Chain A
């Protein structure tokens, strides 16, 4: 949350050509601003309409998750992870469970693994739908937001039936999942997949083909693969520059290696490419869902064999998985006790946001919101 405006100096100069005196000014965006999708503050120095410099200020939502985790046992930490990336809590649940399971060598029953993959992919779709709706709202289109939330609501309802919550699921446990699928739930998910496949076509008709929309986004917020890697970007931010990298494919975890799916990439590296990739990812997630639902084991355990008190062996681990926003990682240093000595989450939003000042430099002020939106940040995750 710290900020130091002294770092930004303002110039004023007199232009002989126009006979006008121009002055640079500071514009404060946020922390309470609809386009920042949370409490994010951006101080920009503008000269006319051109952004000269920008200073992101974060930390307004810092709750000290990592500090809190040191005083909790592993099961108790899981509900806290729900609140980091609250748009895809399932992947956060998974990353901590996966880290502990990796340390302890716990085997997960097949049915639990499938349930995990199904909810993670549904959550990915839900997260992308929120992004899709709000991003278009940012750049001036109202109706897509309503459609996106209508369909996302179906996913939340399904989650509500499964685990009793709409956002903070607390669904996974070390070694498995808390709830088995209720009767008929799998069929409902299948229906939803069918429904969304159809709707995706409509989304494309509604927005993707729109000439105004394309012209608005093409070519802004551009960067290349080298920059993306240098800035530790991940997820769609990275793939939009042509780097084909998806942890589900390249370092498979859970049962992802059983499914066929593509990793969509683009080479333009601009906002439009990121839009297209996220839409393509929804379709790929639907593909994974279809296969996962088709191969879903008829019956089986949902909890593996787990010691009563979870004490990972002394040592440290770092695992990373693919969240909707990129690469989410969990580091645990354990001293053999039931509470972590140190826990650290590698949060994709936090790392992806770093490149913002570079992208904004020299851009028109009207592109600011479009570029910020295309990064797809969740402030709960940025600030942890």
Chain B
């Protein structure tokens, strides 16, 4: 019975140990700087190169561009930009290929909703999701 008693001893010792649990929903849980959360999208930076849509393994990004309103300038600007968070796996590849850092990760991760429709995020929503933006990309 010695082994048995030794085990119990270790358990009892934990009574005085420091707590390791978090009060998560009540106290926000801080994520480290590199954390991959919901993307933030800056329309003014986007050059409509389509690389994010092409690299996405689940094809959850849809975007369209339109000609630049200023006829002097070449290129396109972004018109619509949608991410379907039903299937987005937050793999970080879109932010990795973006040449202008128009799409970046944030530390926000709470996506629970009552309806799946709400998981379809459009350009405005992603633009407004501008807190806790990841600095290192």
A residues with a Cβ closer than 8 A to B are: 72, 75-77, 79-80, 143, 147, 150, 153, 157, 160-165, 168, 170, 178-179, 182, 202, 205-212, 214
Contact = CB atoms under 8 A, between A and B. Distances in A.
Contacts of B93: 75-76, 79, 170
B7 A210 contact: yes
A153 B20 contact: yes
Contact of B4 (A77, A80, A165, A212): A212
B87 interface: no
Contacts of B90: 165, 168
B105 interface: yes
B9 interface: yes
Give 3 closest A-B pairs by Cβ, nearest first. Answer: A209-B3, A79-B91, A164-B34
A202 B7 CA distance: 8
11 contacts: A79-B57, A164-B105, A164-B134, A165-B35, A170-B91, A170-B92, A202-B10, A206-B7, A209-B6, A211-B1, A211-B4
Nearest to B36: A164
A147 B92 CA distance: 32
A69 to B, nearest CB: 10
A195 to B, nearest CB: 12
Contacts of A80: 57
Contact of A206 (B10, B32, B35, B57): B10
B96 interface: yes
A161 B36 CA distance: 10
Contact of B36 (A165, A207, A212): A165
Given A179-B34, A210-B3, A168 B91 contact: yes
A42 to B, nearest CB: 30
B51 to A, nearest CB: 12
A170 B34 CA distance: 13
Contacts, number: 72
A89 to B, nearest CB: 12
A210 B10 CA distance: 12
Contacts of B1: 211
Contact of A143 (B6, B11, B36): B11
B107 to A, nearest CB: 9
A210 B4 CA distance: 5
Given A157-B32, A205-B7, A205-B9, 15 more contacts: A75-B93, A76-B55, A143-B11, A153-B20, A160-B34, A161-B32, A163-B34, A164-B134, A165-B90, A170-B93, A202-B10, A206-B6, A206-B10, A209-B7, A214-B3
Interface string B69-111: 0000000000000000000011111001000000001000000
B10 to A, nearest CB: 5
A206 B9 CA distance: 8
A72 B96 CA distance: 17
B2 interface: yes
A53 to B, nearest CB: 36
A157 B20 CA distance: 13
Nearest to B21: A150
Nearest to A83: B89
Contacts of A72: 57
Nearest to B37: A164
A161 B3 CA distance: 38
A162 B7 contact: no
A137 to B, nearest CB: 15
A165 B134 CA distance: 13
Contact of A150 (B20, B31, B34): B20
A182 B56 CA distance: 26
A205 B4 CA distance: 8
A112 B36 CA distance: 21
Given A72-B57, A143-B11, A209 B34 contact: no
B10 A182 contact: no
Nearest to B20: A150
B88 to A, nearest CB: 11
A160 B91 contact: no
Contacts of A168: 89-91
Given A75-B93, A80-B57, A178-B96, A160 B31 contact: yes
Contact of B35 (A77, A164, A212): A164
